[in-house]
Every structure is written in structure tokens, then in C-alpha cells.
Structure 1
Amino acid sequence: MKGPLFYAKILLFGEYGIIKDSKGLAIPFNAYRGALKSSEDLSGKALDSNGNLEKFYTYLSNLKTDLVTFNLEELKKDIENGMYFDSSIPQGYGVGSSGALVASIYDKYASNKITVLENLTRDKLLNLKSVFSLMESFFHGKSSGLDPLNSYLSLPILINSKDNVEPAGIPSQKEGKGAVFLLDSEQIGETEPMVNIFMNKMKNEGFRKMISEEFSTTTDACIEDFLQGNVKSLFGNVKSLSKIVLKNFKPMIPSAFHKVWEKGISTNDYYLKLCGSGGGGYILGFTEDFAKAQKSLKDYKLELVYRF
């Protein structure tokens, strides 16, 4: 048995903001992927994955929902026969490792599933997002359902609000100097503790005001610029966003990267922002000159995501 491939995702803009109903933009990232496989002789990571699938099966069989039903007998049998999720997507890196797994389980075991080939109305997209939110909550405690949605559809997704998501056309890549890239913090980040820090901060009126008046409006402007291909304006807004995040989301930025973050803002060689919930994993970078950013960040591992 070998299932179809499901890809990683990158939330270009909208981390934390989408929890509070501002805009977000997520794109598939095909450098990393995963698929369901099975083996009679499990060891190492495959054995761990099989054990995780067993716990996930228990979670799904106890779900009380009218939104979706699964072929649980088949799932149980396949797990007993050595099924595991074979994935190159790094875990705890903010690129949707659990999202790809959720998408693959839905694809194979959901009864009456919504397929990628049908006309994806807003209702169908919201239904999928709700189902994926329920499923992925097993991994994170609370999930927007966006990562699995992105992985399942393998399309850029624009989140206008909680109840309004749509596939987005993003400008095709150019052979320019500018780039979006990933910077490897070489630390694992855990989603749940970071989201808890954010939720605690949201109890503070000043922080809430900053989210709605600065963070969300700047994020929305970045998304607008990116989708319209307004590169010059985009970098101005990304610089503002980088400053806002450094000032207000320090606990989510690994301490070893506070100075690196500041350096980007002061030199304009690159601008950094969170990739996912932060706390480790990847940090997302934007630069008008990738060669210059590479030189400036020569001590770190960078991965190219998109070219301007």
C-alpha cells in the first residue's frame, strides 16, 4: 500500500492573527511531503508513527460530530497491518507535518468525502476546514484546520476571516533578486505552549489593541501587496510587520535570534517574521536581494521558498 502524496505548507502571513479572525495566506511547499505506507516489519520512526496512528484512530472513533464519518474498521485493520505515515516534513517546524497526515487520513478513510476535483464552493471549503479542525485538534489541542486544508487541496489559500476562505491565485515566480526563504533555527517549536502564551497575552487590553490596530492591519496590507504583485510596497509593509513581531512576540522568537532579527531591520538585508507559531522551527525571511541575505546570514541554513 502506498497512498497519494500530501505536501507541507507555509503560512506566509497571518500567524496568530487568524486565531483572532484577521487575514491569512498559506501556500503549499512541495520540498517536503508525506504519504501513508505499510510494512510488515516496522522499526524506528515508522514504528512510532504506527503507534501515533493507533492513538489517532481512538480519537477519531470517539469524535461526536455530524460533519464527517470514517471507515473506522478499515483504518483499524490497516494500522494493525503496519500502516504508518512516511514523511519528510520536519515536525515542530511550523510547516504543517500534522496537517499532511490529517489530509491523508481524510482522503483515504472519510466516507462521502469532498474531493479536490469537484466545484469547491465556499460552503464546501468551510465544511472541509471544520472537519480538519476537529481532526487536527488531536495534535495541537486547538486547530484552525488550515494546514490540512492547504495540504489536501495543494492550492494557495486566502483566509479572509474564520467563515470566509477561498483558493487564491498568487503571482507566478519570477527570476528576480527578491525572495521568500526559510531560516532554520535548529530548534523544535511546540505549537500548544506558544498558542497558550498568545491567549494569555490577549487578556491584556493593550495587547488586544495592538493586534487589531497594528498587527492585523499590517498583515492584511502585506497579503494585499503579495497577491497584487506590489513588491516595493510589500517590503515596506513586511519591515513594519517584522518590527511589530519583534516588539510584541518576543517569547515566540528563539532568544538566539533576537539580534539576527534586529540586524535584518537595521541593515535592510532581509526581514524576518514568524513561520507558524514560532518557539523554534523555521523563521520566515523576506529579502529584496537573496544573494545579499545569504551573505548576511552565512552562518545559518536557508531554504528558498519563492522568488520575486
Structure 2
Amino acid sequence: MTNPLFYAKILLFGEYGIIEDSQGLTLPYSYYKGALKFSNLDSDFERNSNAHLTKYADYLKDLDLPKEFELHVSEFKKDISNGLFFDSNIPQGYGVGSSGALVAAIFEKYSLTKRNPETISKEELKKLRTIFGQMESYFHGKSSGIDPLICYMNLPILIENKESVDKVSISGGLEGNGAIFLIDSGMTGETGPMVQIFFEKMKTEGFRKTLKEEFIRYNNACIDSFLKKDMNPFFRNLKKLSNWAFEHFRPMIPESIYNAWKKGLDSNAYYLKLCGSGGGGYILGFTKDYAKAEKMLDSFQKEVIYRF
């Protein structure tokens, strides 16, 4: 393939918690994707993308990357002048990794050392994450490097802690009454301001305490039981997690979703949580009975991403 596709990503668990060393679990999401392509730049979209790549190339030129992760930036610049752009249907501000896919595509095409994601060791994953963090910081101010890593690997990734990530296997995903789904809040969210709200909250001791003692505990328990396919403790902890977010992440929950979130908690028909930093974009839903949840959420646009 001359133009490999890079898929969007979904952070199932770990939003905000991974900043404070919780676990995280993320999946590639093939509904949205992007690829580097050449064109005559006839459309506004192509011209804008090409202009953004020009600025980004200047940023990459000044990055001091270790030898085994060096990029062929002069080749990248030459391609940009020949009409390179990033052809992507990944929505921006929706928490599904639009900049992550771009970073992954550029690294794959222009890195001097070629790698096969299937054979990358856990140690090399750690280094790659750091490199991707440097590359993606251009877009977000400070990046963990997780989004581009998932887009690049195109495999489910377990974030064990701040230092360590590993590949995991998540089987199934097409059949069953239960589902994980996305709800479109109908508005875009900006990561920067939401993260700022989180850090403001972290200044109060009470919030720090409840985040560590409750949120991170429920979050990690959800990941553990989900990977074991142990659905009863999974939904028990998920309800606690959803309830905690409803109380403590109020500013991050889009207004359009607010009542639906509460309805899920009250009825136990489904539970909602943030997908990424919140403020807009997608919200994640989990249910044991998708047909029932779908009826209750019929005023929203939904996309199923996993069945069980």
C-alpha cells in the first residue's frame, strides 16, 4: 500500500485519570480514517491541509529526536511543495484522535527506520510514545503521545501507568445484545480549555482525594473486568464511574447530553461516560440491551463500536 490508512482511536477508559497515573484502555476505530495523498490542491480542504503541513514541517525540523527515530523532514517538505495533504474524515474536536492519525501517518512515511507494529516490543512502545508526544505537542501544547501511538499501532493498547503501555487482545465485537456506542453531542469540544478546568479542580485537596480513591479505582476495575469479559462487576463499577463523572466532571458534560446521562443512571438501562476530554464531540455509552437503550436515546445520533 502506497498510502496506508490511519484509523481514529477511542479511549474507552482513562480520560483525565491517565494524567494522574490511572490505567487506560484504547481501541482503533476504523469508521474514521486518514491518509497522506498528493493532489493539485483544487479544493479548500486540500489547500488548508497542505498549508498546515507546511507549518508543521517547520516545527518538526526543530525537533531534536534520537537517531533511531529521526524523520526525513527535507523529503516531507519536498512532498508538501508537490501537493501533499492529509485526506481525512476524522472529525476534529470529537475526541477520536484527528491529530493522532496525522502524526502516525507522517511518522510511518518519513521515519528513517522502518518498523512493523506487530513486532514492536513493550520497551520500544514506551520510546515511541515519548517521540509521538513530542510530535503531537504542536497541536495540543502537551501530549501524552498515546493517540498517535494507537493510530500507528492500529491495535488495542492498555495504558498500565504513566511509564508503561502494552498491546492487548480484545476478541469478539460484532454480535450480542450488549453494546458500546458513541453518541454525537452535536457540538465540538476543545481539549485545551477542558484540561485547564481539570487542573483547576486538581488544586483542591478534596477533588484530588476523590479522584485517586474513587475515580481511578472504578476506572481500573472497569478495565480489568472488561478485559476478562466479566460483565457483572464491569457494569457495577461502570455505574459508579458514570455517577462519579456526573458529579465531578459536570463542566465537561455537554448540556445536550446532561438529561440523557441522568436518565441512564436512574434507569440502569445504559451508562454514559466521557470520550476524551469532553466539552462536546462524542460521549461513550455502554449497555447490556442496546435495543432498549437505542429507543431511550432516539433523539441522538449513535454509532455502535463494539457488541458483546
Amino acid at match of 2:83: G
1:203 Cα offset (Å): 1.1
Deviations 1:213-262 (A, max 9, x none): 00000000000010000112211111111000010001111122221110
Runs of 4+, deviation exceeding 6 Å: none
Give the match for residue 66 of structure 2: 66
Q: Please state whether the residue corresponding to 2:66 is helix, strand or coil.
A: coil
Deviations 1:118-166 (A, max 9, x none): x322210001100111011111111111111111111000001011100
List aligned pairs for 1:281-292, cutoff 5 A. 281-292=281-292
Q: Please state whether the residue corresponding to 1:105 is helix, strand or coil.
A: helix
> Does residue 183 of structure 1 match 2:183?
yes
> Does residue 111 of structure 1 match 2:112?
yes
1:176 Cα offset (Å): 1.4
Q: Please state whether the residue corresponding to 1:161 is helix, strand or coil.
A: coil
Q: Please state whether the residue corresponding to 2:117 is helix, strand or coil.
A: coil
CA distance in 2, matches of 1:252, 1:108: 36
Give the match for residue 51 of structure 2: 51
> Does residue 102 of structure 1 match 2:103?
yes
> Does residue 31 of structure 1 match 2:45?
no
CA distance in 2, matches of 1:305, 1:65: 36
Q: Please state whether the residue corresponding to 1:225 is helix, strand or coil.
A: helix
1:113 Cα offset (Å): 4.3
1:64 Cα offset (Å): 2.7
> Does residue 87 of structure 1 match 2:75?
no
User: How many percent identity over aligned positions?
Assistant: 53
> Does residue 15 of structure 1 match 2:30?
no
CA distance in 2, matches of 1:73, 1:272: 46
Amino acid at match of 2:19: I
Pick which of 171-180 and 144-153 moved more.
171-180
Query: Unaligned regions of 5+ residues in structure 1, if any?
Result: none
CA distance in 2, matches of 1:154, 1:66: 24
Contact 2:65 2:131 (C-alpha < 8 Å) held by counterparts? no
1:41 Cα offset (Å): 3.2
Amino acid at match of 2:196: N
Pick which of 136-145 and 40-49 moved more.
40-49
Q: Please state whether the residue corresponding to 2:264 is helix, strand or coil.
A: helix
List aligned pairs for 1:112-261, cutoff 5 A. 112-117=113-118, 119-173=119-173, 175-261=175-261
CA distance in 1, matches of 2:2, 2:81: 16
1:173 Cα offset (Å): 2.4
List aligned pairs for 1:272-287, cutoff 5 A. 272-287=272-287
Q: Please state whether the residue corresponding to 2:200 is helix, strand or coil.
A: helix
RMSD of the TM alignment (CA)? 1.3
Amino acid at match of 1:36: L
- CA spacing shift, 1:69–1:174, aligned 2, 3 Å: closer
Contact 1:98 1:136 (C-alpha < 8 Å) held by counterparts? yes
The number of residue pairs the alignment matches comes to 307
CA distance in 2, matches of 1:145, 1:186: 27
User: TM-score, normalising length from structure 2?
Assistant: 0.97
Amino acid at match of 2:203: K
Q: Please state whether the residue corresponding to 2:219 is helix, strand or coil.
A: helix
Amino acid at match of 1:204: T
1:171 Cα offset (Å): 3.2
CA distance in 2, matches of 1:137, 1:247: 30
- CA spacing shift, 1:88–1:279, aligned 2, 3 Å: same
Contact 1:252 1:278 (C-alpha < 8 Å) held by counterparts? yes
CA distance in 2, matches of 1:244, 1:263: 15
CA distance in 2, matches of 1:58, 1:195: 27
Amino acid at match of 1:81: N
1:65 Cα offset (Å): 3.5
User: TM-score, normalising length from structure 1?
Assistant: 0.97
Query: Unaligned regions of 5+ residues in structure 2, if any?
Result: none
Q: Please state whether the residue corresponding to 2:144 is helix, strand or coil.
A: coil
- CA spacing shift, 1:33–1:174, aligned 2, 3 Å: closer
1:2 Cα offset (Å): 5.3
